[in-house]
Amino acid sequence: MNEKEFTGLYNQLYPKVYRLCLGYVTGDEPTARDLSQQTFIKVWNHRHSFKGDSQISTWIYRIAVNCCLGHLKKKHPIKFEIDPKTTDAPNDDEPRNSKNIQQLYRCIDQLKPLNKIVILLELEQIPQEEIASTLGYSHGSIRTRLSRIREALFKCMTHGK
């Protein structure tokens, strides 16, 4: 991978990597930026180790997940509030949607680390096959896990549990 290819990948994947990291650090934007930057530094430094056995985006997401997990092992989670200006909520229902988004992220934050990874990747619209490949699971197990995660999030959103 040359510098031009790296720049293209960075521009294409940085927003998704950033949002993935942001979900891990429960809305701590400076830490999410640091982890995203750390991810792409590792991508550049280890670009020659990419074997091409998967999509390069899968490899990059795995590096991001590892950076986030490494960070979580060192630090305790930080409580957060989502800035409604950074969400895609429509203007007419913005207060209600903002509250729902905050509640959803609080529920996601309560998930086990692996489930949190899976749902954050799903929310980024990463194909399930790519999520499975990134995490080293079968597509079927990811589909089952996502179904259980959605059920848990629904219960949390409706009953606060």
In this predicted model, what pLDDT tens digit does every residue of 46-70 receive, in sequence order?
988 888 888 898 899 889 988 988 8
Query: DSSP secondary structure string, the chain?
Result: --HHHHHHHHHHHHHHHHHHHHHHTTT-HHHHHHHHHHHHHHHHHTGGG--SSS-HHHHHHHHHHHHHHHHHHHS--------GGGS---STTHHHHHHHHHHHHHHHHTS-HHHHHHHHHHHTT--HHHHHHHHT--HHHHHHHHHHHHHHHHHHHHH--
In this predicted model, what pLDDT tens digit does every residue of 109-161 receive, in sequence order?
888 888 988 888 888 888 888 888 888 889 999 999 999 999 998 888 888 75
pLDDT, mean of residues 1-28 = 88
Q: Across the chain, what does the average pLDDT equal? A: 81
Q: Which domains does the chain have, with CATH numbers?
A: 1-81 (1.10.1740.10), 88-161 (1.10.10.10)
pTM of the model: 0.59
